[in-house]
Structure 1
Amino acid sequence: MDYRTLLAAVLGVGLGAVLIAAPEAILRAHTVGRVPGERGGEYGTDDEPGDGVRRLIRVVGGALVLAGLYFGAVAVGTV
């Protein structure tokens, strides 16, 4: 059993699960420190990202889960 491939499987499934479960947190972490384009809002309000961005993050998470499962199958020897 190749431990590097098994580690890639665990990391892929874990990161993919986080991307699927909490896309808002991933998006917020990605945009930390960026100046908003429009400064006309109320103090403390954030511009809400569209559903397309959340869907894209979940699709990337799903791809990572599938890749992790494939790497896990390779590490175990079923593929």
Structure 2
Amino acid sequence: MDYRTLLAGVLGVGLGAVLIAAPEVVVRAHTVGRVPGDRGGEYGTDGESNSGIRRLVRGVGAALVLAGLYFGAVAVGAV
């Protein structure tokens, strides 16, 4: 059994699960420190991120989960 491939599988599934479960956190972490394009709104309110961006983050998370499952299967010799 190749432990590096198994570790890649575990990390892929873990990171993919985080991206699927909390896409808003990933978008916030990516945009921290950037000046918003529009300055409208009330003081203290956060702008809503685009639902398309959240869908994209979830799609990347699903791809990572699938890749992690494949790497895990290769590591244990199932494929």
TM-score by length of 1: 0.95
SS of 2:19's partner is helix
**Which residue of the partner structure matches residue 52 of structure 2?**
52
Q: Which moved more, 1:41-50 or 1:4-13?
A: 41-50
Which structure 1 segments of 5+ residues have no match?
none
Cα RMSD (Å)? 0.7
**Which residue of the partner structure matches residue 64 of structure 1?**
64
SS of 1:40's partner is coil
TM-score by length of 2: 0.95
The count of aligned residue pairs is 79
Q: Which moved more, 1:59-68 or 1:40-49?
A: 40-49
Segments of 4+ moved more than 3 angstroms = none
Post-superposition shift, 1:50? 1.7
5 Å-filtered alignment, 1:1-79, equals 1-79=1-79
